[in-house]
Each structure stands twice: as structure tokens, then as C-alpha cells.
Structure 1
């Protein structure tokens, strides 16, 4: 028995030892290059995540007559109810306040979907991650693509409002294009980062869901900062607290062009700064944890 143990130990030592004059090349799994390569390879497999995103919608609304338009109807009904209620409470013209609320809700659905569904993206795709040799970013692109499709459906409500409440949309309307692109890019890094963190620490997902609900009330969606600043005094000073909320700036760069209002330049600078910082954080997280996700799910 002792001889067998010694033989086994010798065999293990021989197999794990490095031959003289040879060095073990360092692993590149924990590098920024590997993290960027994951994002790049995932983008190249666009046919896969485009098809999976469409399949998700078909599966969710299978045998439904209206399909994803149920989300559009629900968003429209909620926007109408909140717009009517708060326009009377704040004594605001419905023609001005209803588009503000509606576009805010449409964009909020995308943001909250990226946060809440992003936190469970890898857990929900456990089977594919273990069986399909694909970059992790494929699942993130799939989620963001699905949320973008829902966003496109909901923009029908905005189009109806423009017809009902006509307003002048100048050249600033075209700022909605870079605004949307920034929103989508942020959806990618948010889903990637929170997806990895929530996969490792399972309490993060319900925590994010609660925090997202809280953020809805402190973000100017069913209320406006102008209503507070017009009151003057201490109330106007407290209204500036809303600018500490980064989601307010994300909403403004998209909502303002859609409802014919100018966008202050500082909103763009803040959004660009948070986008760059978020991408950097996501890249660091991918460098450290990307290769461990398949073991955590």
C-alpha cells in the first residue's frame, strides 16, 4: 500500500512538474484583451442573439392575439392614468405633462429591464452557458436586443401623442439617435456587470429589484423638476437634488428631443462620463470573473 502511494505521488509530480528549461506560458483569461475579445466575438455572432431575442418574444406571447403589444397597451394605460392624475394634482396642462410622463415610462421600462433582467441573465441561461460554447456577451446582447424591441413597440404610444398633441420638433429631435445609442450601450454594461455580480451573490438580484422600484419614485418621471423650481425658495433648492440621480440625465437626453424640448449640454457630459465609467467597471469585472460564471450558475 505504501509503495502504491509513493508511485502515485511520483506520477502526479511528473505530470504536474515543468520540464527543465521550459516555462509555463501565463494564462490570458484574466486580461482586458480577453474581456474585449468576449464582447467582440459576441457582437460577431449577431445572427445567434438576434434570433434568440426574437424567439424569446414569440415564446413569451405564444398563442396571444396581440403579442408584445400587450406591453404597449399596459404602458399606454399607465401613462394615461398617471398623466391625468398628476396633471390635476400639480395643475399642469395635460398636453405638456402627458408626453413627459409617457416618454419617461417608455424609457424607464428599458432601463429597469436592463437592470432587473440583467441581474438574472446568466442564471436564467444556465443551460445554454453550460452546453453552448459561446461568449458570455451573447446572452447580454440577446437581453438588450429584446428590450430594444419592446422599446420600439412602446414608441407607438409616443407617435400617437404627437398626432393628438402636435408640437414643433426641430433639428434637436435628431439628438434622440445618439441618446438611444447611449442608452443601449449602457444597457450592455449594466446587464453584464450586474449579471456577473448577481450570479456570484444571489442576494443581489432581489436587492436590485427593490432599489429599481425606489429609483422610479426619485426619478422625474411622474413629476418634473420645473414644477419644483417654479415654487422658488427652499423647494427650488431641494429640486437640485434630483440632478444627483444619474438616471435623470439618461432620461433627459432621450425624452427632451422626443417632446420638442431643448437638452442642456451638461446632461450629455454626465451621461458620457457615466457611460465611460460603467464600461470600465464592466471590463474590470469581466477580466476578473468572466471565466468563473459557468461554475457559478
Structure 2
């Protein structure tokens, strides 16, 4: 006979048909693309949070500095003044026309190089936030894009000052708005593409940095495309040239070539399709890679 007292039993839970059940269903087929599209949609719902985080990133980057991010403005001014005098002499061009061209080109390239550089670490730099909170990955892409746009805003006064000093007036502004929209879309997909590649392959950052240096000299940034008397159409194979030209030509008053806009749209479409397919397939693995 057992003399041990009976232990109290936990109260039985009523059985209902609405109890929460965790369903782990593997993604197959088109579900990858549906979840990726849902991630992008949810990311834009958090755009205010992304802007706040981008602003805090800049505040922390220049914490303790007197001028803060305006060091970028001063550095850009000095660099453009030195390069403008030197290259206008070497290229034998009129400084009154060359310096506005150089100023806008360098400021625009600083945005492109910043997107390329920081896009490689878009997810790895936010690893602690990704592991601690369940948020869409697109939030971190928008955060990097917003941060680079805020940095670009600090260099806009340099462009305005140079254009006012040389009395250069923008022309043909009808295509400026769609060009800016295309730049925003391309920056978004470029950051997403490099973020996925950078999370999987840590060699992405030095490779992109090296390619950025090469494209800086190959792309018409410090030299005008009119200097190529033969073979200007080959410049359309450079993915940076048509995207820069559709935004630079209306500002500097140059005439946009007929094939520039189709080339820019073609490169943008290729970037968007490749990036979306890669993000849809690799999205579920990002948390493990970082």
C-alpha cells in the first residue's frame, strides 16, 4: 500500500478548436516572391522609423564634433575647388562651364559611392537589431538609403553656391522629377542587392570598393562625355553613365542623348529583377548569415 499523499494535479485546460498552433510550413514556389513582396510593403510602413534611425546614425557618427556633418560640406568645397582649377587646365576647357559640371557630378557620385559602400553592410551592421526584434528586412535598406540622402543634403549648398557664382541656370527641368524617382528606386534595389551579397560573402565590401574606384575614372564624372570624339555610344554599356546623365544634363543645361533614357531604364529594370529574385530566395537565410 502506498502511503505517499496524492500530489495536486494542474487544472485541465478546456479543449477548444481555436488553440494557437505553430505551423512551420516550408516556402516553395511562388511563396518566396509573395513573402518578399510583403516584406517590402511592410518595410515602407516603417519608413518613419527608418528615417529616425538614419538621423541617429549621422548624429552618432559625428558625436563630439564641432561642425558635425558639415565637415562633408567643407571637404567637398575644397576638393571641387582644387579639382576644378587643375582639370580645367589639363583638359583645356572653360572653367565657367566646367566647374558647375564638376560640382554636380562629384556630389552625385558621392551619393552613388556612399550607397555602394554602405549597401554592403546594410544587414550585417544591423545584426543586433535583426536578432532582437522581428522587423522587415526592407526597413534596414530604407535606413541606409535615407542616411545617404541626408548626407547628400549637406552637399547641396555647395552645388547652389557654385551655380550662383558662375551664373549657371538649370534648364530642361521637365525630366528632373522622373530622373530623381528612378534614382531612388535604383538606390533601394542596389542597397538590397549588396546587402544580401555582403551578408553571404564578406569579400563583397573590398570588391565593391575596388570597382567603385575604377568606375569613378571610367565614367564621365570629372571629364565630360563630349571629350570622346569617337565611340560615345560605348558609354551606354557603363551602368553609371546613363543614370548620372539623366539627372545631370537637365541641371547643367546639356542635351540628353536619345539612347540615354532607354539605357537607364534597361539597367534599372535588370537591377530590380535580379535583386528581387535574389532577395526572395535568400531572405529567410539572412538572419543566420549575419
Give the 3-state SS of the residue equivalent to 1:202 in structure 2: coil
Residue 184 of structure 1 corresponds to: 184
What RMSD over aligned residues (CA atoms) do the two structures have, in Å? 1.8
Give the 3-state SS of the residue equivalent to 1:265 in structure 2: coil
Within-5 A mapping of 1:201-216: 201-216=201-216
User: What is the number of residues matched between the two proteins?
Assistant: 267
| Mapped partners of 1:115, 1:138: distance in 2 | 17
1:291 deviates by: 1.0
Residue 233 of structure 1 corresponds to: none
The answer to whether 1:241 aligns with 2:242 is no
Tell me the alpha carbon deviations over residues 48-85 of structure 1, each in whole angstroms, 9 at most, x when there is no partner. Answer: 10100110111111222222111121122112211111
Within-5 A mapping of 1:148-167: 148-167=149-168
CA contact (8 A) 1:121 1:195 kept: yes
Unaligned runs of 5+ in 2: 1-23
Residue 51 of structure 2 corresponds to: 50
CA contact (8 A) 1:54 1:146 kept: yes
Unaligned runs of 5+ in 1: 1-23, 230-235
CA contact (8 A) 2:115 2:191 kept: yes
| Mapped partners of 1:30, 1:70: distance in 2 | 47
1:26 deviates by: 5.5
CA contact (8 A) 1:30 1:288 kept: no
CA contact (8 A) 1:104 1:255 kept: yes
Residue 220 of structure 2 corresponds to: 220
Deviates more, 1:46-55 or 1:74-83: 74-83
Q: TM-score, normalized by length of structure 2?
A: 0.87
| Mapped partners of 1:79, 1:284: distance in 2 | 40
CA 1:271–1:156: 2 relative to 1, 3 Å: same
| Mapped partners of 1:169, 1:48: distance in 2 | 34
Q: TM-score, normalized by length of structure 1?
A: 0.85
Give the 3-state SS of the residue equivalent to 2:124 in structure 1: helix
Residue 80 of structure 1 corresponds to: 81
1:110 deviates by: 0.9
Residue 133 of structure 2 corresponds to: 132
| Mapped partners of 2:285, 2:26: distance in 1 | 18
CA contact (8 A) 1:173 1:260 kept: no
CA contact (8 A) 1:95 1:165 kept: yes
| Mapped partners of 1:254, 1:110: distance in 2 | 13
Residue 193 of structure 2 corresponds to: 193
| Mapped partners of 1:222, 1:167: distance in 2 | 18
1:157 deviates by: 1.0
Within-5 A mapping of 1:105-144: 105-144=106-145
| Mapped partners of 2:87, 2:156: distance in 1 | 22
| Mapped partners of 1:293, 1:215: distance in 2 | 29
| Mapped partners of 1:273, 1:26: distance in 2 | 34
Give the 3-state SS of the residue equivalent to 1:67 in structure 2: coil
Deviates more, 1:202-211 or 1:140-149: 202-211
Residue 250 of structure 2 corresponds to: 257
